Structure 1
Amino acid sequence: MAEEGGESEITLEHTPTWIVTLVCTVIVFISFVFERLLHRLGKVLKRKNQKPLFDALQKIKEELMLLGFISLLLVVLQGSIQRICISENLTHHLRPCKGEATATSTAHYVVSSSGRIVGGARRLLSGGGDSTYCQKKGKVPLLSIEAIHQLHIFIFILAVSHVVLSLITVVLGIAQMRTWRHWEDSAQNSVGNVPLKISHVQQFEFIRKRFKGFGKDSFISSWLHSFFKQFYGSVTKTDYTTMRLGFIMTHCKGNPKFNFYKYMIRVLESDFKKVVGISWYLWIFVMVFLLLDIAGWNAYFWISFIPLILLLAVGTKLEHIITQLAHEVAEKHSAIAGDLVVTPSDHLFWFHRPRIVIFLIHFILFQNAFEVSFFFWILTTYGFDSCIMGKIGFIIPRIAISVLIQFLCGYSTLPLYAIVTQMGNSFNKAIFNENVQIGLLGWVQGAKKNKKGTVVDRSNKSENPEAILLQNVVVHESSVVRGGNEISEV
């Protein structure tokens, strides 16, 4: 039994065994149920042949394992951290709250709602630590036990918030894209039913709504139109059917009834596993954001504008790419025989790399998750009136911006990403179902063994080596049959 501040703490050796057993049983039971639910969900996804979503689930498991390891390190090393002593003067700078700190006899402290540092009575979970070790030297520990405890709770809330908000964004995006299924059915049914005729380019609705003429004024107006278009009807039926036809005529001309909608959903599911994870560079941003949480700076208020500005920039760029497709056709042709066909190209995207967009969306969702998780962490840990929370004039705009980002990304930016990023030179390997992918990659590997000196043509600048190989198969081996199904029928 230990005496601290006039209060006694009962150690495990003096705790009734039934209490220890009961608490351990509840914790183990909850953990086991959660693990079984994830396992069962994985089996359902595999049974339904949802490999991209299954891969995303595996990514979530990896993140949970990383979080568990981080929490374990914080618990095991907290004794060692307590023995790292620093001068008390160093704790007077770069604080999230103003006011003087008063160290207690336990040599650990937390920031109160009044801005003062008050003591706690948390014991070392790892054992072997001496809370008065630094006090005897006239110093303070590098990080208090209470602060360590609250820190790993924040990290856990951040990761969970990122996964949940990413999932909500994808669900909203797919819900918004449901209407495209009817457009896909209509486009497939109209194949071969429309007589070939010559039409002036301005007669096409896609050109009429997107083409703004020539000159400096038209250039500015096209960007302004693209900016505001992302807030209403970001993708219309004519946009969809035109880009669908452009994709088919570029990548699978032999199959005019190719299901472009299913292909986009498969690509979106495949990219979801990238978005749901927390990459190493995102953890660096977390460290930078924590460093900037200094009293008087209101850093989190200004940081909240970063994902909003990026999201608006991404949405504007994606809308402008559609406009550029219309401009290129209008500038090259005055009349067109048959349907309007646009030409996909990587030069339409930033740095000629369509995949940059998904990395920006990843960062936007993570930054938004950081804002949301930090708000709820402060609210539940210190209360709404905490000095860390900031003034209400800064809190309300931050919450409003986070909600706006969540819905705008789900209902507008993500659907735009799903269709516009298909307007590059290459295509995603999700164009094939899983069985065909495995068969083709096996065939390619066998061909590489037989012809080690063969050089693969990389003139299409694809970012994915597998996509290069699969594209060569489609272009040059369109008659390949695997398991009785032609590739063009995938």
Structure 2
Amino acid sequence: MAEGGTTLEFTPTWVVAVVCSVIVIISLAVERLLHFAGKYLKKKDQKPLFEALQKIKEELMLLGFISLLLTVFQERINKICISENWLRNFMPCKKPSDDKDEGTTAHFQTFFSPPVLPATVGRRLLSEDSSAPTYCSIKGKVPLLSTTALHHLHIFIFVLAVVHVTFCALTILFGSIKIRQWKHWEDSAAQKNYNAEDVLQKKFTHVRDHDFIRNRFHGFGKSVAVLGWGHSFFKQFFGSVTKSDYITLRLGFVMTHCRGNPKFNFHKYMMRALEADFKKVVGISWYLWLFVVIFLLLNVAGWHTYFWIAFIPFTLLLAVGTKLEHIITQLAQEVAEKHVAVEGDLVVQPSDEHFWFNRPKLILFLIHIILFQNSFELAFFFWILVQYGFDSCIMGQVRYIIPRLVIGAFVQFLCSYSTLPLYAIVTQMGSSFKKAIFDQHIQEGLVGWARQAKKNKGLRKAANGNSAGSPPGAAAVQMTKVREEDALLRSQAKGTEIVTDQRSNSSS
């Protein structure tokens, strides 16, 4: 048989055994690694990160299912025959007959058409036989997707998911390192011996002399508003969060949501909230897969789609960073416009109105898109580099490649060290707080309490509705049981609040 066409019937058994052994060993090693990582996170009481790890496992399972579908339906896909005229348009590379100057343009044509160059013969799958006529060639047609192209598409999906998960993990890691540098600011704020009344009454603060206002307030008028946006744009590149910013925003959060505990550990709460958000960012949602399909559709020779699409995460990142900085500026602007001096420390008022469409969660959604699109850009580059080589026509000219890589590295760096830390603190300036404000066991207790209270509410309605047709004694017994459960729940809730206060004070 021709090279690449040998089946398992004529393959030495030791070759099959060795290959299967290597695959099984690698798979078990990865599975054990994820298992021990999960046990370690549970031991360290890092449930948000453990849930993020479970999300990664879900993505790997999805990839395994995609791999299974591509393998099982490979032969059937090869037997979907279409006219060759359908494959002459929307190609990533021009055929050599169309452009004689491009000697490497046929590297990627197997992605959409069946002809395979001699350089790619060695990459054929076991089911292909270059000498034998194919099912579609007998009919005078071509297959919808060749076996080689299907195999390359399979590899690309795997590379994309792995690169996305890796880049998200690196972003969160570097962002967390940056946020941990603020820990000494939290410690200095916690060292102050004050209570809620002292914060508001112990002294007078001249608003314009406060560091937070001096750095953020730019005066009044429309022209100054434009200046404020410009300042916010450039501020995200250097010193995005200063000590005065952190102390003021922390105090605004504490006085709004934790008024009874001014020494609340705001930094620890931020880290827990960021870990909880990580499990949402690391996943690949359906709309992100839709983006992949649209890109593959628009990846036409001469359009340079891979280059222009690099500006999408770049533009979104700059817009998000500018908006987050401007929210801090707006908080300073509100205080400076309303007061000349305030009694006590300067306190800002968090509000959802400062965010786009009054939705702080929209920022996380945009960060998710930014990280995925940037990962997609870099994954696509490395996949083309390994699969087809640097001289592939789909790689494009060097003048398009270098800016693309520079933009990708810049987006990754800026998102890790500036935008993500900005998001971690500014997103807390909404009208409500996240459930990460409670420790994990307290969160579980509150959720259980809420479910039981909802169940008792339904039982109370049922008891009131059946009291007319039921014996008086039975209705009274049922209502008594409901009241007893309600009293027990109220006592549990009160105990939870006490534990929360104690743990918050001890963590400070």
TM-score (norm 2): 0.86
Change (3 A) 1:94 1:213: same
Deviations 1:306-345 (A, max 9, x none): 1000000000000000000000111111111110000000
CA distance in 2, matches of 1:449, 1:256: 35
* Residue of structure 1 equivalent to 2:116: 118
Change (3 A) 1:451 1:267: same
* Residue of structure 2 equivalent to 1:451: 457
Shift of 1:489: 3.6
* Residue of structure 2 equivalent to 1:177: 179
TM-score (norm 1): 0.89
Q: Does residue 482 of the first structure (1) align with residue 505 of the second (2)?
A: no
CA distance in 1, matches of 2:270, 2:180: 12
CA distance in 2, matches of 1:218, 1:205: 19
Residue 391 of structure 1, aligned match among 397, 410, 415: 397
| Number of equivalences | 457
Deviates more, 1:29-38 or 1:191-200: 191-200
* Residue of structure 1 equivalent to 2:476: none
Is 1:53–1:270's contact at 8 Å kept on the other side of the alignment? yes
Deviations 1:461-489 (A, max 9, x none): xxxxxxxxxxxxxxx99982239724464
**2:499 aligned partner, one-letter code:** N
* Residue of structure 2 equivalent to 1:282: 288
Residue 374 of structure 1, aligned match among 376, 380, 383: 380
Deviations 1:117-166 (A, max 9, x none): 53447345599xx9611001111000010000000100000000000000
**1:20 aligned partner, one-letter code:** V
* Residue of structure 2 equivalent to 1:238: 244
Residue 421 of structure 2, aligned match among 415, 423, 427: 415
Shift of 1:301: 0.7
Q: Does residue 333 of the first structure (1) align with residue 339 of the second (2)?
A: yes
Shift of 1:300: 1.2
Is 1:448–1:454's contact at 8 Å kept on the other side of the alignment? no
Q: Does residue 24 of the first structure (1) align with residue 35 of the second (2)?
A: no
Change (3 A) 1:211 1:16: same
Change (3 A) 1:162 1:14: same
Shift of 1:26: 1.1
More helix by share: 2
CA distance in 2, matches of 1:430, 1:126: 55
CA distance in 1, matches of 2:494, 2:79: 68
Change (3 A) 1:336 1:479: farther
Mark the structure with the bigger radius of gyration.
2
Is 2:5–2:126's contact at 8 Å kept on the other side of the alignment? no
* Residue of structure 1 equivalent to 2:209: 203
**1:177 aligned partner, one-letter code:** I
Change (3 A) 1:76 1:479: closer
**1:111 aligned partner, one-letter code:** A
SS in 2 for 1:451: helix
Change (3 A) 1:250 1:147: same
Shift of 1:446: 2.0
Is 1:478–1:487's contact at 8 Å kept on the other side of the alignment? no
Change (3 A) 1:42 1:131: farther
CA RMSD for the aligned pairs? Answer: 2.5
Q: Which structure 1 residue ranges, 5 or more long, are not aligned?
A: 103-109, 456-475
Shift of 1:101: 7.3
**1:139 aligned partner, one-letter code:** K
* Residue of structure 2 equivalent to 1:323: 329
Residue 157 of structure 1, aligned match among 149, 156, 159: 159
Is 1:199–1:335's contact at 8 Å kept on the other side of the alignment? yes
**2:178 aligned partner, one-letter code:** Q
SS in 2 for 1:336: strand
* Residue of structure 2 equivalent to 1:166: 168
Shift of 1:450: 2.4
Is 2:186–2:265's contact at 8 Å kept on the other side of the alignment? yes
Is 2:91–2:109's contact at 8 Å kept on the other side of the alignment? no
CA distance in 2, matches of 1:125, 1:172: 45
Change (3 A) 1:8 1:389: closer
Q: Which structure 2 residue ranges, 5 or more long, are not aligned?
A: 99-104, 462-489
CA distance in 1, matches of 2:193, 2:73: 66
SS in 1 for 2:73: helix
Residue 405 of structure 1, aligned match among 389, 405, 411: 411
Change (3 A) 1:174 1:345: same
Deviations 1:52-90 (A, max 9, x none): 000000000000000011011111111001110011111
Shift of 1:100: 5.0
- Percent identity, please: 61
Deviations 1:213-256 (A, max 9, x none): 10011101100000000000100000000000000011110011
CA distance in 2, matches of 1:478, 1:182: 36
SS in 1 for 2:303: coil
Shift of 1:452: 4.0
CA distance in 2, matches of 1:355, 1:8: 52
Q: Does residue 142 of the first structure (1) align with residue 126 of the second (2)?
A: no
